[in-house]
Structure 1
Amino acid sequence: MGAKSLSDKLCVGSWAFSQEYRESVRILESQTIWDHTSYLVWRPNAEAVAWVTADRLSPIDEPRLQSFDNLLYRVGAARVVEGLAEDVLLAPLEAGVIPLPHQLAALSRAMSGDKVRYLFADEVGLGKTIEAGLVIRELKLRGLVKRVLVVAPKGLVTQWVQEMRTHFHEDFQLLSPSDFSAYRHLVGDDNIWHRFDQVVCPVDSVKPLEKRRGWNRERIERHNQERIGDLIAAGWDLIVIDEAHRLGGSSDTVARYKLGKALADAAPYLLLLSATPHQGKTESFHRLMSLLDQDAFPDIGSIKHENVAPFVVRTEKRNAINDRGEPLFMPRSTRLVTVKWQEKHALQEQLYEAVTEYVRQGYNQAMRDNRQYLGFLMILMQRLVTSSTRAIASALERRIGILQSTTITEDDLSDGSSDWFSEDSQEQMEELLASKIAGLHNEREEVKLLLDTAKRCQAQGPDARAEALLDLLYKTGQEENDPELKFLIFTEFVPTQQMLAELLTSHGFKTVCLNGSLDLDSRQRVQEDFSKEARILVSTDAGGEGLNLQFAHVVVNYDLPWNPMRIEQRIGRVDRIGQKHLVKAFNLIFEDSVELRVHEVLEEKLKIIYAEFGVDKTGDVLDSAESGADFERVFAKAIVNPDGIEQNVDNLMMQVRERAEDEQSGKSLYEKSSLDAKLASLYVNHPMPYWIERMTTSYLQAEGGRVEKKLFAYDLTWPDGEEMNDICFFGREAQDKGLNHVSLENSKLRALVELLPRAVAGEPIPKLTIGGLSAKIVGFWSLWQVALRSSEGNPSIGSGHVRILPLFTNNEGRTFLPTARTIWENLLQGGPKIEETGTIEGEASQAAFGQLRQEAEKHGENLFGELHTHHQENIRSEREKGRYAFHVRRQALNRIGLPEVRQFRIRKLDEEEREWTAALTRRERVFPELQPVCVLFVEASDG
């Protein structure tokens, strides 16, 4: 071809092929300087322009080697685009976790209507966090939410951050008002909550204050404004409240309920999570349900099945199944291991009895003198001596320090004794031992004697309970025939934890520890160590909150909490979804102790209640702070009055039965869950991963990358040199075989879909023969992208703005849509049944493109109409949601007491609303786009 004919073809307005960018580009401008010609070209996929030299462009109609792999890449990428546009939930296909039937049912239910305001009430251990994550991800993929707030108890906030990052690749900022000073230099006096789009915060850090000692009304208002006032004014799209039953309160004046009411009004979408929303308290449950819809639940009389069921999604453990329809949870074995006092432990037994007597006398005197916190301290001492010699010795030393102080007072203690029994034992110890509680008569001398005995016990060697633990570890390892068996050991107190870590390490067990003082990164490192090399994890109750340790299956309760629900929560760390072994729990307790007597009587009577209600553990009939406090009081009374154990337990069992009946009646308000394993199988076996695999591997082979197929995985090298090893496109296979799962969450894979190549009129049309087709199939097959375009740029996949139209037009000019889909599926399969037999070029190619475009315009009009209608509905929904959010924020700002601050914030809100309205108006203006993705001439092969 001569220079003149080449320049004629590479003229302004014509299409050319860029060897540099590996795509068709349109020439916008040309220049020749000193015999060097270059062109300014438009790259449609990148929505960008670039200068290229003449030697890197070729005419669009020039025959070139467009590899079969490039064709398969286009075919696969287009199928991914169309798959995302079909009536299918998007989040399960992209999540880093394989959703179970009940989790998919929760997601389907949440997305079934316009108003996403639900109570997720699955039983403990069924993964409500995963369900909420799926909803968050689904709403984001559909473009319905951007700003998300999660409010959770303090012990669960780090778990939320971790699980959202691990399973959904969503980054949430852990934020508490105590952190505000660190952010002030970034935002000045502006609303700090508005700085982050996705936030997790502790519930009690933002609840409003009514009063505080030494604070005037102005300071309290400023405190509340920075927390709850600014929080609800930050403009959230979705708010998730974990352990939401805590917001029900005992009345509508309680601080937590006020917080819940403010949050419920602050966002159009709301998810409440609670395994025990009713707890036998209809009034509290009514307040909780009214957070979802005040109109639907105007009074307590509205709490009926027909009203409640539409708002509640609940699955019970006994009904939960996997995608094969099999029961989800493994059976459980719990054994009580009594620790005997041997002769060498005589001094330890003496210490236990001496502390018990000290506690008994001290508690009785404290109650007579109406000194409640001293009574609490006495009970704490009993639990400490039961835990370990080190724990009681540490506490006695700290008590001596207080008793020797000249400034002893009880004024440092708060008045919140009602929450005392619900606190973590380590927190109780820190509060009581740090407070200057006045002592009993002659208490200092008695504590000195006890401390001396404790130190002599420590000098004698390991506690009797510690030796029993070592025997248990060795014996269980032999029974399991696993020399690397992992153990999760729980204790109530950090001093005991430290002692156990030293003891176990000295006996060759690689041991790691978790307690409430560790930050998120430290917790993750400990969990990772335990999942790999460490054989033992010793955790306190606070450290164990939020753990998912289903790779272990043996739990040892080194010391037993008096609240049986805490024991249930401990075992629940391994008795979780994904557990593949029989869960074994061992409860260590001293022989001939008051604790053992109470435990045995409780267990005997609880079994009767379990049988009556058809359940097998405490958590199935009882889970509330009040119940836990009642159990702890029974133990406390038993220490003081051992002769009254039977009567006290009987009284407690009457309350347990009443609460269980109330809880069971509360469950009748919910819809009975009906789970279908096929729903999960639909996603587990969905062909989307295969389409992504075909798209990715074909692209790499076409563009100079490297694809190395291994037995169950791939090693991939991208054209830019980036390597991905042990890659698997199928979630379950990756999970089962420990491979690296990749999906469209990966930016490189997503770019392959977002930048879907286009065919250009005039370029050569490949000719293919395809086996397995009817001999009558001869003609042009093409894929067309039908999209809504706007000034905002390329429409994103999964946004509802893009569809793919497959067409087959035979030699007689008739178009068959079903045949087009059949050819598409055959092309996706690839293989030896497909052969290239040449190309159609020049005027024949131009003419074919023109005829095919007319067919695409005719058959694509309905698709565009569907997209346009869907877009208008989304805009309308977003406008309503936005107006609601701005209204709520403006109401919150109007409550600010300081006029200058109020006016400044309102002006900024007005400006933000104007910008939002303008942006929404721009997005509302759209126009159609119709682009060919690929065009082929196909015919059935003789074979």
Structure 2
Amino acid sequence: MAWQAGCWLWSKSQECYVQLVEEHDLWQIPYCTVLGSNEPDTFCLPKHDLAETGPNWHKTPFGLSYIATAARIANAQSEGDLLSPLEANVIPLPHQLKALRKAFSHSQIRYLFADEVGLGKTIEAGLVIRELKLRRMAKRILVCAPKGLVSQWLSEMLQHFNETFHLVQPGDYKSIDSHENIWTRYDQVVCSIDSIKPIEYRKGWTTKQLHAYNKTRFDDVLAAGWDLIIIDEAHRLGGSTDQVARFKLGQGLADAAPYLLLLSATPHQGKTDAFHRLLSLLDEKAFPDVSSVTKERVQPYVVRTEKSHAINAEGARLFNQRQTELIPVSWGEHHKLQRQLYEAVTDYIRDGYNQAKAKRQNAIGFLMILMQRLVSSSSRAIAKTLSKRLEALEANQLQAEIEFSDDWDDLDGQSQIDDLVQNSSSGLANEKQEVSFLLSLAEQCIAQEVDAKAEALLSWIYRLQQSEQDPNLKVLVFTEFVPTQQMLAQYLSERGISVVCLNGSMDLQERKQVQQDFAGQTRVLISTDAGGEGLNLQFCHVVVNYDMPWNPMRVEQRIGRVDRIGQPFVVKALNFVLENTAEHRVRDVLEDKLQIILDEFGVDKTSDVLDSSASNHVFDELFMTQVLDPAKLDHELAKALEILRDNAQEKRQQDALFGGDIPLQLDEYKNALNHPMPYWVEQMVSSFLHWQKALGKPASINRNAKGFLDITWPDGSTSNNVTFSGKQAQQTTNVNLLTLEEPKVSELLQKLAPWVPSMPIPQIRLTQLPSGTSGFWSLWRISLTSNQNNASRYLPLYCNSDGRYFAAASSRIWEAICQLEFDVLQGAISDDITGPSVIPMLESIAQREGEALFNTLHNEYLIELEREVSKAEFSFEARRRAIERIGLSEVKQYRLRQLELEQIAWNDNISNQRQVFPQLQLMLAVEIVG
């Protein structure tokens, strides 16, 4: 039997209707070329696979309900309804939901998440990961973070989102086949930023060795085919120039995935050129040069919330005001050696710093700065460094002046001193003798005296636990240096106080164990700055800065370890400083002056004027001036305050640059968290399985004794003890959460086939609506297609027998069909005469009512397109200005011609993209009998 081209046939193997394009009978092999209802390309099927009719939706209420519910889910997705907050193990806060909503407001998901420290940027990134996966937009995901944060990413993704990521470390490279790309082993990977940074030179290495090193670390990671790349602490990629390794790494990663998230609480850092480089990673066309860094251009790419504006689910402020107190610690009669050591080391530093400055020996200068901080930290800290310095002087192993890396300022004091002592340049005049004397004095201090600040710390711990009536009060103690950490741990432990330590030399497992111990019975955690990176310690609210970093921004970062979301108490920060020292004198006057600047500019946090990378050097100069020549302190202080005032002004400009986001209203927030999507997905699956069971498939869905669902799919496979509710999954162990990410569930949306002319129209009776309701109800898919985009919406239409359309009833009947609030009138199916006469009437109404919906799709498409046009035109103009500055006329003219040709080609492509095509497809049609 011959079929006519264009007719709809049922494919037994595909289990869907296909449209016949052409029949073939070549060399005694009969087959047909067909077009799937949702397929752009034709394909071939054997003729015996095709039949004139198949299992139509109207034979059971479940078939109709399945199509109606699947269409409703698809419509909600296309309208931008968010799915991930409904099934994560963490309930997002309003600002986190705002970040997610903005991330999916455009098709190009490339953003800078710039919330302040402690506001949960990791959670925001996790929500984006889940949303992309639920929409089946991403599978392969790479997270690049500083070394100290990789364990936090692994644990938070598992704890809050049930996402397993695999840590890939440099050591893994040694154990693999040189031809294997290790980055393709896992779909979800976390690695440290520096482990994949390319190098251009290493002493003693051949070109071949450099190539092999870069291949496994840089080239292979870029070639691994990622869908989404997330870079934490992304401001580190800005670099001092566009030639540094970290920026080159950023450029490579930015080009290696269509979706990109940059995370940084301090993205600007007072350097517009570095900030521009960071933004260019998101969109090179939108930010071709520094002049493009304007509020209008930046705002669409940045999501930022400040702590002062963050609210909880009830609309109350999320963070309490913290209490900070400067604690001067005096030397008593039993601390004479310590006072003598401080003064002697300060004399040595004064002489050494002046010599280094005269000879332009930067390494020695930095070593002297760190020595001054060490002697203020503890006797043991300065003794350890003096000992290493003496060993180097006696062995004559001092090397040439070291080169400071681009990330030198990011290192903590311990890392800097280790680097300098190992690599510092030639000794100073008479230095060996002087260092030997100082070391002897330091060892006397250690043997005969207890550090004054250690005694003060113990006294304050007792005082605090009494005032707060908590004998098990937890205290987080920060120090810059490991020897001080070791001394304090020994001192407190000997006095019956349980202690754990954390520093940058510990591996991930050790860090994890320390955090678990502190969360348990241990009372005191002593951490260095490198060790404290990435800590979430909301269960502790007392921070002691045992020694004070010269840059107060470091103090802010330390306090941020406990001043985080979920902190129920007022955070107390105690800042220890030795009385009548250079550090005490500078800090005493500096804090008062700094507060004046904060009040002047309406800034409520010191970090707002200290997040500039230049601040370190400002404070180095300030403190060293007090050491070298106290009479000049006022002059240096005035200079420093002027820089900080400029930073405050810069902060205002940054606020204006990032501002403009419309805050998420509380009712929007609550509606998003209470979205019925999980119920809809369950309804869709249930209706589909009941429909398949009615067709004779081994499908079932039943509630078990535990109150969860056991599912048998049509192919015979099973899913047991499942729920569709994320909230239920959060509260229960040993239950499996089914979401749209599950292939068997998402496939139900992808199989959504349109109505075909061979289907007669079923008659139904609504059970929950007025009995007099009668007429026709239909569901239409309205689509916009172009050579760059496809978008769809669904339109329900109810009209009475006279063809009069009722908008409100259309949606209510859609709901009723999804909810199975109807009966199919068996034996009362409209015949072939009714169908052909009704469908044209319904299509006429759909064309009339659906035009506005198509225009909405068209306008959304044009807005996105004009955004791309604006970016590209701005980029072309910026490149043209750059070419105009070329001095050689021939080179200039050649490049201008090349640019013009490129722009012509681009204009042609844009013209093609402006052409769009509407489509109108019938998905369901029923006759409602009153």
2:622 & 2:300 partners in 1: Cα distance? Answer: 40
| 172-181 vs 809-818, greater mean Cα deviation | 809-818
For residue 544 of structure 1, report the CA deviation from its aligned partner. Answer: 1.3
Q: Residues 712-765 of structure 1, C-alpha deviation per residue, up to 9 Å, x if partnerless?
A: xxx99999997799x98438x969x9999967389699699899999xxxxxx9
Matches within 5 A, 1:194-343: 194-215=184-205, 219-220=209-210, 223-343=213-333
Q: Which residue of 1 aligns with 2:727?
A: 730
1:292 & 1:181 partners in 2: Cα distance? Answer: 33
Q: Which residue of 1 aligns with 2:24?
A: none
1:783 & 1:370 partners in 2: Cα distance? Answer: 79
For residue 657 of structure 1, report the CA deviation from its aligned partner. Answer: 1.8
| 432-441 vs 328-337, greater mean Cα deviation | 432-441
Distance change (3 Å), C-alpha of 1:629 and 1:693: farther
Name the SS for the 1:149 alignment partner: strand
Q: Which residue of 1 aligns with 2:6?
A: none
Distance change (3 Å), C-alpha of 1:463 and 1:441: same
Matches within 5 A, 1:92-107: 92-107=85-100
Name the SS for the 1:512 alignment partner: strand
Q: Residues 122-177 of structure 1, C-alpha deviation per residue, up to 9 Å, x if partnerless?
A: 33333333333333333333333333334443433443344333333334444455
| 547-556 vs 664-673, greater mean Cα deviation | 664-673
Counterpart residue type for residue 156 of structure 2: E
Matches within 5 A, 1:609-648: 609-648=597-636
Matches within 5 A, 1:374-385: 374-385=364-375
Contact 1:331 1:582 in 2 (8 A): yes
Q: 2:669 aligns with which of 672, 680, 693?
A: 680
1:322 & 1:856 partners in 2: Cα distance? Answer: 53
2:431 & 2:811 partners in 1: Cα distance? Answer: 87
1:130 is the counterpart of 2:119: no
1:165 is the counterpart of 2:158: yes
1:494 is the counterpart of 2:482: yes
For residue 333 of structure 1, report the CA deviation from its aligned partner. Answer: 1.3
1:514 & 1:430 partners in 2: Cα distance? Answer: 17
Q: Which residue of 2 aligns with 1:591?
A: 579
Distance change (3 Å), C-alpha of 1:82 and 1:370: closer
Name the SS for the 1:580 alignment partner: coil
Q: Which residue of 2 aligns with 1:356?
A: 346
For residue 425 of structure 1, report the CA deviation from its aligned partner. Answer: 1.1
Counterpart residue type for residue 321 of structure 2: P
Distance change (3 Å), C-alpha of 1:814 and 1:548: same
Counterpart residue type for residue 93 of structure 1: L
For residue 452 of structure 1, report the CA deviation from its aligned partner. Answer: 4.1
1:295 & 1:757 partners in 2: Cα distance? Answer: 38
Contact 1:390 1:495 in 2 (8 A): yes
For residue 776 of structure 1, report the CA deviation from its aligned partner. Answer: 4.8
Q: Which residue of 2 aligns with 1:539?
A: 527
Q: Which residue of 1 aligns with 2:591?
A: 603
In the superposition, the TM-score normalised over structure 1's length comes to 0.69
Contact 2:134 2:741 in 1 (8 A): no
1:84 & 1:511 partners in 2: Cα distance? Answer: 51
For residue 606 of structure 1, report the CA deviation from its aligned partner. Answer: 0.8
2:747 & 2:524 partners in 1: Cα distance? Answer: 45
Q: Residues 361-395 of structure 1, C-alpha deviation per residue, up to 9 Å, x if partnerless?
A: 33334444544333333333332232223323333
Distance change (3 Å), C-alpha of 1:551 and 1:373: same
Distance change (3 Å), C-alpha of 1:417 and 1:210: closer
1:660 is the counterpart of 2:648: yes
Q: Residues 269-311 of structure 1, C-alpha deviation per residue, up to 9 Å, x if partnerless?
A: 3333333333343333333333333333343333333333333
For residue 427 of structure 1, report the CA deviation from its aligned partner. Answer: 0.7
Name the SS for the 2:577 alignment partner: strand
Q: Residues 219-252 of structure 1, C-alpha deviation per residue, up to 9 Å, x if partnerless?
A: 5455445544444344433333333333333433
In the superposition, the TM-score normalised over structure 2's length comes to 0.70
Contact 2:780 2:921 in 1 (8 A): no
Name the SS for the 2:176 alignment partner: helix
Contact 1:99 1:680 in 2 (8 A): no
For residue 694 of structure 1, report the CA deviation from its aligned partner. Answer: 8.9
Contact 1:780 1:936 in 2 (8 A): yes
1:770 & 1:552 partners in 2: Cα distance? Answer: 58
Contact 1:362 1:378 in 2 (8 A): yes
1:444 & 1:717 partners in 2: Cα distance? Answer: 78
Contact 1:244 1:277 in 2 (8 A): yes
Matches within 5 A, 1:699-738: 706=704, 729-730=726-727
Q: 1:88 aligns with which of 81, 86, 89?
A: 81
Name the SS for the 1:586 alignment partner: strand
Name the SS for the 1:668 alignment partner: helix
Contact 2:781 2:922 in 1 (8 A): yes
Counterpart residue type for residue 663 of structure 2: L
For residue 564 of structure 1, report the CA deviation from its aligned partner. Answer: 1.1
2:103 & 2:261 partners in 1: Cα distance? Answer: 9
Distance change (3 Å), C-alpha of 1:300 and 1:372: closer
Q: Which residue of 2 aligns with 1:110?
A: 103
Q: Which runs of 5+ in 2 are unaligned?
A: 1-54, 690-699, 713-717, 754-761, 784-789, 869-918
Distance change (3 Å), C-alpha of 1:291 and 1:746: closer
- Count how many residue pairs are aligned between Structure 1 and Structure 2: 814
For residue 440 of structure 1, report the CA deviation from its aligned partner. Answer: 4.3
Contact 2:88 2:726 in 1 (8 A): no
Contact 2:115 2:303 in 1 (8 A): yes
Q: Which residue of 1 aligns with 2:911?
A: none
Name the SS for the 1:338 alignment partner: strand
2:608 & 2:135 partners in 1: Cα distance? Answer: 37
Q: Residues 455-490 of structure 1, C-alpha deviation per residue, up to 9 Å, x if partnerless?
A: 444445643212221222222223333344332221
For residue 349 of structure 1, report the CA deviation from its aligned partner. Answer: 3.1
For residue 552 of structure 1, report the CA deviation from its aligned partner. Answer: 2.5
Contact 1:734 1:740 in 2 (8 A): no
Distance change (3 Å), C-alpha of 1:369 and 1:818: closer
Distance change (3 Å), C-alpha of 1:130 and 1:399: same
Distance change (3 Å), C-alpha of 1:674 and 1:319: farther
Counterpart residue type for residue 567 of structure 1: V
Name the SS for the 1:669 alignment partner: helix
Name the SS for the 2:177 alignment partner: helix
Percent same amino acid at aligned positions?
A: 49
Q: Which residue of 2 aligns with 1:893?
A: none
Contact 1:279 1:663 in 2 (8 A): no
For residue 817 of structure 1, report the CA deviation from its aligned partner. Answer: 9.4
For residue 614 of structure 1, report the CA deviation from its aligned partner. Answer: 0.7
Contact 2:383 2:439 in 1 (8 A): yes
Name the SS for the 2:574 alignment partner: strand
1:507 & 1:475 partners in 2: Cα distance? Answer: 15
Contact 1:807 1:856 in 2 (8 A): no
2:733 & 2:370 partners in 1: Cα distance? Answer: 45
Q: Residues 574-599 of structure 1, C-alpha deviation per residue, up to 9 Å, x if partnerless?
A: 22233332222111111222211111
Contact 1:91 1:137 in 2 (8 A): yes
Distance change (3 Å), C-alpha of 1:176 and 1:663: farther
